[in-house]
Amino acid sequence: MIEKTDLVVSALIPILAMASLALGDTVQGTVTDAATGAPIYRVKVSADSNRFTYTDKAGGFLLNTESTTGVFAETPKLGRENDPMRSWDAQGRKATLARTMNTRLFQGTLPSLDREQPNGLIKGAATSAANVVRFEQAGFLPMEVTIAGSQSGMAVKMRIAPVDTTAGLHPFLYAGEWQNASFANQTMYIVKGGKIVWSYAMPAAGELGEATLLSNGNIVFCRKTGASEITQDKRIVWNIDAPAGTEIHAVKPIGLDRVLYVLQGKPAYLRIVNIKTGVIEKQMILPVGKPDSPHLQFRRVALTKAGTFLAAHLDNSKVAEYDSATGKEIWSVATGGPWCAVRLKNGNTLVSGNGANVREFNPQKQIVWEMTKTDFPAAYKLNIFQEVSRLENGNTIICNWVGNITPADKPGSVQVLEVTPEKRIVWAMKSWKDPNLNTASAIQLLDEPGIPENGDLQR
């Protein structure tokens, strides 16, 4: 956490228009650590006047508002009145508000909180006319506190929330390889409210891997022996079959008209194809560790927002980034058996690995966040972490693939994990009956914002 509010403001974007907080308005948002950008907790404030003030002795938090209502507060540390970050409303009240894409940020003074993860204790100070502050921290039960006048040394103790083990926490698309230790009857699902609302069983033998639900309702997926796009009424509208001696385990939509896939073999080809015309618009050879063993060469390869290619070299124990024009490697990091690599919005790279681990590397190749098997209860029976993704709230979703453990152990194992940045488990899905979703290789949460085919999801 940084010490001066003006340092936080310097990184924000000036706003073009302002609005005032009216009587009875509600502002809700996420308090974020200004130094790291990591979400800490959500807060909702119901105001009975058009002014409220929080006091943060360190000045180190931002409030990401989910409301379109502007929030005004005295901000004496922000500098001169002609500062481009300072605006004035019609009544002459000082205010600072910044807009980042579609999100508004309230920059002012917020409660200084000391977070004690084991018991959920929150300490701080607040000044208000008569506001209700609702604290919501992932992994804890929400707590509401009424603030009348000024309070200091305020302590809020939130009870740890039970871990959700059902399939109902999120709506999602789900696929897994080697279901029932077989290549036959492989099925992917859309689950909402804990119930299967759509499924597709492949008519031929294969191995379901990566899958993406598009904004038009179609699903782009790979199946080891090829890749396809299927509609909700189960019509195949695009298909590529892998020639003998090759496999396809990585496929990503690029908009609604193009698909990136990797044809694993000797050599391995990365291709971008226009699925409307059938024209291969880009082809480059990806280096591999085992040219004669295509099965384990790749599981995830993606086009980044910067226009580069990011590849998890499963057989080469590294993640590498390639220039899309020249094919030259421009960045890499050594990591054992990577199944999935995701370029995050903060510029770091999230990687899952064979040894049931997830690591977040910064551009300098340093591990800045990590979860290993020892961070989880032994009863979860962790095996291989396949797909990993980062949610907008800062939590991480992990697919725990258990296709090769004993049948007796599978019902007691978890298929999907959701963990907070503090490594608290929010979701540990066990869905082997009613419904039986089988093994987990890919999951796309359908309650995340963004357009999947535009690369808006961190997966």
Q: Enumerate residues 6+ apart whose C-beta is below 8 A from 447.
A: 170, 171
| pTM score | 0.75
**Spatial CB neighbours of 370, under 8 Å, sequence gap ≥ 6:** 357, 358, 359, 360
Beta bridge partners of 445: 172
Q: Are 109 and 59 in contact (CB under 8 A)?
A: yes
Residue 46, pLDDT score: 56
Predicted local confidence at residue 29, as pLDDT = 60
Which pLDDT band holds residue 94 (cuts at 50, 70, 90)? very low
The first and second tokens of residue 78, run together, are 């922000």
Task: Report percent pLDDT > 90 for the chain.
Answer: 61
Provide the pLDDT for residue 125: 55
Q: Which domains does the chain have, with CATH numbers?
A: 5-157 (no CATH), 172-454 (2.120.10.30)
The pLDDT of residue 2: 22
Residues 174-215: tens digit of each pLDDT: 999 999 999 999 999 999 999 999 999 999 999 999 999 999
Is it true that the peptide bond before 267 is cis, omega within 30 degrees of 0? yes
At residue 19, the pLDDT reads: 35
Q: Say how many C-beta atoms besides its own lie within 10 A of residue 249's C-beta.
A: 28
Residue with tokens 């030259």: 328
Q: Give dist(CA 107, CA 110) in Å, integer.
A: 9
Among 48-52, 240-244, 324-328, 424-428, where is mean pLDDT lowest?
Answer: 48-52
134 pLDDT band, cuts 50/70/90, is: confident
- For the residues 404-408, what does the mean pLDDT come to? 89
162 or 110, higher pLDDT? 162
> For the segment 333-378, what is each residue's pLDDT rounded down to a tens digit?
999 999 999 999 999 999 999 989 999 999 999 999 999 999 999 9
